[in-house]
Structure 1
Amino acid sequence: MDTVIATSEKKPHLIFAPVPAQSHIKDMLKLAEFLHHKGLQITFVNTDHMHKRLLKSGGPHCLDGSSSFRFVTFPDGISHTTEDDDGSIPLFYYVETTFLTPFLDLVKKLPTRPTCIISDGFMSSFTIEAAQKLGIPIMLYWTLSACGFMGTYQIKSLIEKGLVPLKDESYLKGEFLETTIDWIPGMEGIRIKDLNTILQTTDPDDLILRICIESTQNSHIVSYNIFHTFDALEPSIVNALSSMFSQIYTVGPMQFLLDQVPEYEKQTEMSNFSSYSLWKEEPTCFEWLKSKEPRSVIYVNFGSFTVMSMDDLIEFGWGLANSNHCFLWIIRSNLLVGESTILQPEFEEHIKKRGFIASWCSQEKVLNHPSIGGFLTHCGWGSTIESLSAGVPMICWPYLWDQVTNCRYIWKEWEVGLEMGKSVKREEVTKLVQELMGEKGDKLRDKAMEWKEKALAATGTNGSSSLSVNNLIKEIITLSRN
């Protein structure tokens, strides 16, 4: 039975603190929105820069919610060179050095004392200290897969065993990365190359390496860890995490939980709330999709952070065009390294014969469109769980971090994708697209649909995610009464 706060009862007040990046904000917004529908009061904290980007992409009223769902902001201290600049390179330095004080000031000025902070796990370097100073309980929300978390968590053990950092760059080309790691709980047969790419460094003082270690080890400081996955998808790792931590909650896919909120509640409580995106979405692509046959289009999107060279872009373009399949390709304004994304007219004209190019789109809506038959992806967790939820198989071209772990699970464990080499070759792109979109891809499509059904079951009545998020709400209510 669902737990909903009684109207006569004082609402627990939650503060959400996401990493200022597209996928992290989106996942945390969805959890916040769902908990708000269950009767909890929400204060969602963005940096000034990210809040302005959300308003620019969605319109001045896109974040209008209700009196019990408020957005507040604080400065991130980063000098942004463009409006699309996330400040991703120095971000974690600023998280460590400048976020604490403005966050404390912000919380102290709130009209209602918070019941609990729900912090992105990778913001915990300052949110845990803030919670301690304020005397407020804290929960960590890991907006990545259980396998992605576990692989990152194990970096500390890899260092202790002398495997990281790498002795020199020759280790990146030899057999070392093929080494199988047989001691990670729930990840039998995993190779070093399948773990977070940040461990592929020769610098023992690498900032991101240290942040990954500190953040994941912080999971032991708190009493509650939330994961955006579902039990049937990663059973062995979820079991391992359950034995490592006192309380874990698996709450994925969040969109399926939100889909169960009655429409009249959405219209009454959050009538104008409509934006999860930092980029302005182009709805015209849906008119183009309408003209295509079912499962005839491959969707191509490398996420919000991946960058590539113009040479890679051209290889992808020719590979897609030569596949003889239609494609919807998202090319962000900042996709290319140090170059303009303006394509040569003859090249753009050629790929447009079969393709549609947009700068951004509503990805979940695209993936659930009947004309979509496959997804060429960077394997970010947001994209991966959205593809699984839509029953769409994938071609995997991971870029960084936990994306390589997700890639391994997509093609090896979940059997819903094909792995692509790191070096972009048009011939390989063509071959993989033809395989995925043709008869050879039917088995992958069938498997993807099986995972969709399992995800629906997990978020249905008495499903694992439904029960887990219900237990989470009960715990929050208990905290509010203490």
Structure 2
Amino acid sequence: MSRPHILAVPYPAQGHVIPLLGLSRHLVKHGCRVTFINTEHTHSRVINGLQEKSCIGDENEIRFLSIPDGLEPREDRNDLSKVYDKIIQVMSEKLQELVEKINREEDEKIFCLILDGCAGFTIPVAEKMKIKKVAFWPPAVASLALFNNIPKLIDDGIIRTDGKGTPIKKQIIQLAQNMPGIDCTKLIWTSVGGEDLASQKRMFEVINNCVQAGQAADYLICNSAYDLEPGAFALVPNILPIGPLLASNGQGNSAGSFWPEDSACLEWLDQQQPKSVIYVAFGSFTILDKTQFQELALGLELTDRPFLWVVRPDITDEPNEAYPGGFQDRVARRSRLVGWAPQQKVLSHPSIACFFSHCGWNSTLEGVSNGVPFLCWPYFADQFIDESYICDVWKVGLKLNKNENGIITREEIKSKVDQVLGDESFKARVVELQESALKSVKEGGQSHRNFKNFIEWIKA
């Protein structure tokens, strides 16, 4: 009897690849065959980042294939507003060709497409090929609730009918009880589009594409849990949570990183005292200018606590040149600086005291699933919604405030570190949230039941 053959297509960004790869692993364990499609650019980064390459292509593992994204090697793939049109055209064409090739040459035909909610442009391919369509939503459900409520935001006079979703005035909106407050100056489509009005308009169109993907899918699932976002699920009743996927892995392992992980930092953590280390990691997109980078460094030094800091090669211009004079020598005995870290293993380590985070949803779930309090440093997009969950709804972390020059100062950093580590209520609340999240993915939990029903639907 042939296995259900599923094609998984993430949006080509690390925060989207990792959770869909986590879902794909679970599908393989439940008797499905998964072919995972990245763009050629993303594929090479994922393969380079994998610690164990021998398993790729094995019949009991995920098969990785790649298609072009239509961009030149030096084009900025992070500038979504400028490259999206080219990406969707080329990827759609190449994806259809790949499905046709697999179905022509292999016994196990593609019968289902699991697409990233932000890759809704693949829906027409599935419809043309007459295969099932599953939309997987990687961010918080609150962000999808926001997208779905755009018509209401227009009717209520909160955003303009200018095709860009421009806010009419500065205000905080709350879509429902137990949901984060959303700052209208930091809406997802405006914070990604920047100041350029054409970019904002393009991003607003991309958001509408996400909504259409969810509406067109035969099944809509997400990496969240009812207890984490009850208000958001009330606004998007057709979406089914099957997460936290990373919490349900149970091994502390992840794949999909765009950078090779420095596992030696785990040995350094073994030498530190329990609940003593500040873990600092701002994801794959955050960029800091030299002034802010130096203030962060001096703030970590000022805490007089051990810290593990992930300093990506592209987090600032020439980071090795940006460190304050003598900084690395002064903190050498109580710090570890790495280019990338095995984050799930780091966060589950007993020496970690708090998580200095950009508040991406994957990082948010990882922190919560390991019972670690937060210090929040959001950069763009949905990260401001996640920050509000952490600080205002769940109350398991603190925000950092900028000064009149838009800088988070060293004194502010030290003050918030002292507050979050000096108040045991933060730890108590995040442990309670951790228990609730982990319960959802265990036998009998709501996410576990939803995933079981999903598997039955796939195999029906």
Q: TM-score, normalised by structure 1?
A: 0.85
Q: Give me the whole-angstrom Cα distance separating, in 2, the residues matched to 1:64 and 1:424.
A: 43
Rate the CA distance shift 1:298–1:260 in 2: closer, same or farther, 3 A: closer
Q: Secondary structure at the match of 2:236?
A: helix
Q: Secondary structure at the match of 2:143?
A: helix
Contact 1:396/1:418 (8 A) holds in 2: yes
**Residue deviations 1:240-297 (CA, integer Å, cap 9, x gap):** 311xx3xx32111112333289xxxxxxxxxxx9732110111221121111100000
| Alignment of 1:459 onto 2:441 | yes
Which of 392, 411, 436 does residue 391 from structure 2 map onto?
411
Contact 2:179/2:232 (8 A) holds in 1: no
Which of 208, 227, 244 does residue 213 from structure 1 map onto?
208
Q: Output the amino acid matched with 1:434.
A: D
Q: Per-residue deviation at 1:325?
A: 1.2
Deviates more, 1:298-307 or 1:156-165: 156-165
Query: What residue is the counterpart of 1:267 in the other structure?
Result: none
Contiguous gaps of at least 5 residues in structure 2? none
Q: Give me the whole-angstrom Cα distance separating, in 1, the residues matched to 2:153 and 2:89.
A: 27
Q: Secondary structure at the match of 1:115?
A: strand
Q: Secondary structure at the match of 1:365?
A: helix
Q: Give me the whole-angstrom Cα distance separating, in 2, the residues matched to 1:403 and 1:147.
A: 11
Rate the CA distance shift 1:470–1:372 in 2: closer, same or farther, 3 A: same
Q: Per-residue deviation at 1:207?
A: 1.3
Contiguous gaps of at least 5 residues in structure 1? 1-8, 262-272
Q: Give me the whole-angstrom Cα distance separating, in 2, the residues matched to 1:10 and 1:239.
A: 38
Rate the CA distance shift 1:291–1:430 in 2: closer, same or farther, 3 A: same
Rate the CA distance shift 1:275–1:214 in 2: closer, same or farther, 3 A: closer
Q: Secondary structure at the match of 2:8?
A: strand
Q: How many matched pairs? A: 441
**Residue deviations 1:416-436 (CA, integer Å, cap 9, x gap):** 000112532111011111112
Deviates more, 1:358-367 or 1:446-455: 446-455
Query: What residue is the counterpart of 1:75 in the other structure?
Result: 68
| Alignment of 1:370 onto 2:362 | no
Query: What residue is the counterpart of 1:26 in the other structure?
Result: 18
Q: Per-residue deviation at 1:459?
A: 1.0
Query: What residue is the counterpart of 2:236 in the other structure?
Result: 241
Query: What residue is the counterpart of 2:114 in the other structure?
Result: 118
Q: Give me the whole-angstrom Cα distance separating, in 1, the residues matched to 2:20 and 2:180.
A: 32
Q: Per-residue deviation at 1:192?
A: 3.2
**Residue deviations 1:148-201 (CA, integer Å, cap 9, x gap):** 32223334443454433599xxx99xx933x2435x345667343486332466
Q: Per-residue deviation at 1:354?
A: 2.9
User: Identity rate of aligned residues, in percent?
Assistant: 29
| Alignment of 1:137 onto 2:132 | yes
Which of 326, 329, 332 does residue 312 from structure 2 map onto?
332
Deviates more, 1:380-389 or 1:455-464: 455-464
Q: Give me the whole-angstrom Cα distance separating, in 2, the residues matched to 1:361 and 1:226.
A: 28
Query: What residue is the counterpart of 1:431 in the other structure?
Result: 415
Rate the CA distance shift 1:424–1:149 in 2: closer, same or farther, 3 A: same
Which of 335, 341, 353 does residue 319 from structure 2 map onto?
341
Query: What residue is the counterpart of 2:189 in the other structure?
Result: 198
Which of 272, 278, 300 does residue 320 from structure 1 map onto?
300
Q: Per-residue deviation at 1:77?
A: 1.6
- What does 1:300-311 align with in structure 2 at a 5 Å threshold? 300-311=280-291
Contact 2:39/2:66 (8 A) holds in 1: yes
Query: What residue is the counterpart of 1:54 in the other structure?
Result: 46
Rate the CA distance shift 1:158–1:401 in 2: closer, same or farther, 3 A: same
Deviates more, 1:250-259 or 1:200-209: 200-209
**Residue deviations 1:205-242 (CA, integer Å, cap 9, x gap):** 62112101221233112231111001111122223311
Q: Secondary structure at the match of 1:44?
A: strand
Query: What residue is the counterpart of 1:99 in the other structure?
Result: 91
Q: Output the amino acid matched with 1:47.
A: T
| Alignment of 1:291 onto 2:271 | yes
- What does 1:148-163 align with in structure 2 at a 5 Å threshold? 148-163=143-158
Which of 398, 421, 431 does residue 378 from structure 2 map onto?
398
Q: Give me the whole-angstrom Cα distance separating, in 2, the residues matched to 1:254 and 1:62.
A: 24
Q: TM-score, normalised by structure 2?
A: 0.89
Q: Give me the whole-angstrom Cα distance separating, in 2, the residues matched to 1:260 and 1:115.
A: 30
Query: What residue is the counterpart of 1:471 in the other structure?
Result: 453
Q: Output the amino acid matched with 1:389.
A: S
Q: Secondary structure at the match of 2:110?
A: coil
Rate the CA distance shift 1:378–1:274 in 2: closer, same or farther, 3 A: closer
Contact 2:22/2:254 (8 A) holds in 1: no
